Structure 1
Amino acid sequence: MTAFATPEDIAHRTDAAKEAAVAAGRELGLEITEGKVLYELFSVVVHLAPSPVVARIPTVLPHTTTLADLAKRQQQELDVAQWLHDQGTPVIPPSPLLERKPVQKNGFSMTFWPFTDEDKTKEPDYVKNSELTADLHKALKNYLGELDFLSSAEPRFVTEALDRLDNSPDIVDPQDLARAKQEWQVLEPLVSDENAFRKAFPNVDLQPIHGDSPPANIFASTNGPLFSDFELITRGPVEWDLGGLGLELEAAYDRGAARNDLRPLDKDVLRFVNSVGAIRVIAYLSCADQLPAMVEFMKPFINQWRDTDPYA
């Protein structure tokens, strides 16, 4: 049986992240009377009140992610968010009150962003957000920052996580795990090797992409929608950003692509990214000891994957 973190363990982790952010912010010269936790799941988001600054602290991480790895990824996020902001793209940029770099404190690595008022009167409109994603892709085409090919797929982590799950039948059904491993043997080379991907999909261009489902990461501010959370910024096919969203949202993206003179989504690449995404969902269950709620949260995605044909 897997030893899951208790609610008390998670509360302690959240408090530790909050206190680290408060301490780091004060050391950087911010006036902070309290840290207000705005959100917690895979990351803890803290308003460093009364300063107009929010700290985001990743707390649930793959076993392969070191603080150095995380800081590199966070620096890429800060750089691309600032660049997009400078180009006039509607994004949440890094906080202008602090140096644009990740900060490490008490074993946590964090980034700082402006406190942004949320329009809580509106429900997320994922159809509209999917269409807007094409606007983001058009802007990102001109970004020249150094990005690795499909780093957000985390192939090393997935490979090792699937093996670690051999000992967790209470988390992943052994039949699901066996199928996942078989599919990953086909998918992993296409994720890890840009040349192999280009050979498999010769007519599909690669470019900077958000990396983590931008339709689900558009912040509804009181001044309009803002792209956010570029933690997994990478280079790859645009289909990666629409993985697992279904026909309606794919069609919405294609409308946005036509409006921006971009190509429509490629169905073969969509099948590829959907398959990789499903295997990553299963792999992330290796982190369920840190966040037990993900076991139930991931079930619908796994059930949907079971209804698909194996990738071969």
Structure 2
Amino acid sequence: MTAFLTQEQLADRTSAAVDAAVAAGRELGLTVTEPRLLHDLFSVVVHLEPAPVVARIPTVLPDSVSLDSISRRQRSELDVTRWLADQGVPVLPPSPLVPREPVQRDGFSITFWQYVPENRDTEPDYAANAESTAALHAALRDYPGQLNFLGAAEPHSLSASLDQLAEHPELISPEDLARARREWQALEPLVSSQEQFQKAFPGIDLQPIHGDSPPANIFAATDGDRYADFELVSYGPVEWDLAALGPELEAAYNRGARRNGQRELDGDVLAFVNAVGMLRVIATLELVPKLPVLAEYLNPAVDQWRATPSQQ
């Protein structure tokens, strides 16, 4: 039987992450006297007050993800956000007060960011955010660094998570898991190979992409909106960043693309990234024992997937 973390164990994990961030920050020369928890879901985010620095610590991860692989991903995020900030793109930038490198401590991999005050008097405008995503893509096109093709899909981790779920029928039925595996078997070659993707979708240009639904990851700062959370920054089709957001937000993105002289979203590629995104939701069921509240968000999506015809 799967063991789900208790509230006490969840609190202990959060406390351990905060303690690691505080200790790491102090070792880097920051003055930290009153750490303030800002967010706690997949990552713990803490303001290392009075230093104008925010630490982010991933805490809820698949078993197949190693500390070193997290650090590699974080280096890409730090490099991309620093480069975007240097181009004048509004982002949450890395902190200039410490080296731009992840720090491993006490089993965590920690990154440090500039503290930016939040405007708490505004509600997200997802249509405006989707339209703005076209401008982010225009800026990202010139990023000179190397990024993994569709690294945001995390194909190795997705495969490992489906294997792990086979041991936990209380999280997903054997019938549903068999369907997910069939669908992934057909999609995985296009996710793992740029060459195979381009054979399947000739003429679709590829570029650096945010990787994790930028319309849902725009931070409302007191000085204006900023793009945030580039943890899954990758190389791929722009459609990935609009996966599963629906026709209204797709149309909003297309408005922004037309205004910037960019191509609009391709329907076939959208169908592909939506299918992969759905399987990533299925794979995320592996994390429910580590974060039980996830079931409230994932189960309705799984029900919707179950009600749709199989893609294979």
What's the TM-score once normalised by structure 2's chain length? 0.98
What letter matches 2:134 in structure 1?
Answer: A
- 1:256 is aligned to 256
Please give the secondary structure, in 2, of the residue aligned with 1:44.
strand
Question: For the Cα contact (< 8 Å) 1:22–1:34, is it kept in 2?
Answer: no
Please give the secondary structure, in 2, of the residue aligned with 1:167.
coil
1:287 deviates by 1.6
1:141 matched to 2:146? no
1:245 matched to 2:245? yes
1:281 matched to 2:277? no
1:154 deviates by 0.9
- 2:292 is aligned to 292
- 1:309 is aligned to 309
What letter matches 2:247 in structure 1?
Answer: L
Q: Deviations over 1:21-72 (max 9, x none)?
A: 0001111111110211110000000110111110000001111211111111
What letter matches 2:253 in structure 1?
Answer: Y
Distance 1:143 1:47 in 2: 29
Distance 2:123 2:47 in 1: 23
Distance 1:307 1:89 in 2: 41
- 1:10 is aligned to 10
What letter matches 1:80 in structure 2?
Answer: V
- 1:130 is aligned to 130
Distance 1:173 1:268 in 2: 30
What letter matches 1:204 in structure 2?
Answer: I
Distance 2:269 2:308 in 1: 15
Alignment of 1:1-312 (within 5 A): 1-312=1-312
What letter matches 1:232 in structure 2?
Answer: L
What letter matches 1:72 in structure 2?
Answer: R
Please give the secondary structure, in 1, of the residue aligned with 2:99.
coil
Distance 2:209 2:134 in 1: 10
What letter matches 1:284 in structure 2?
Answer: T
Please give the secondary structure, in 2, of the residue aligned with 1:288.
helix
What letter matches 1:82 in structure 2?
Answer: R
Question: For the Cα contact (< 8 Å) 2:94–2:113, is it kept in 1?
Answer: yes
1:309 deviates by 3.2
Please give the secondary structure, in 2, of the residue aligned with 1:49.
strand
1:102 deviates by 0.6
1:267 deviates by 0.5
1:310 deviates by 2.4
Distance 2:216 2:59 in 1: 20
Structure 2 portions without partners, runs of 5+: none
What letter matches 2:243 in structure 1?
Answer: G
Distance 1:132 1:174 in 2: 41
Distance 1:47 1:141 in 2: 32
Distance 1:311 1:193 in 2: 20
Question: For the Cα contact (< 8 Å) 1:186–1:311, is it kept in 2?
Answer: no
1:307 deviates by 3.7
Distance 2:154 2:166 in 1: 19
1:178 deviates by 1.8
CA RMSD of aligned residues (A): 1.0
Please give the secondary structure, in 1, of the residue aligned with 2:300.
helix
Please give the secondary structure, in 1, of the residue aligned with 2:166.
helix
Q: Deviations over 1:177-221 (max 9, x none)?
A: 121111011000110111110000002111000000000110000
1:302 deviates by 1.7
Question: For the Cα contact (< 8 Å) 1:171–1:295, is it kept in 2?
Answer: no
Question: For the Cα contact (< 8 Å) 2:64–2:161, is it kept in 1?
Answer: no
Distance 2:305 2:65 in 1: 26
Distance 2:239 2:73 in 1: 21
Please give the secondary structure, in 2, of the residue aligned with 1:204.
coil
Question: For the Cα contact (< 8 Å) 1:19–1:35, is it kept in 2?
Answer: no
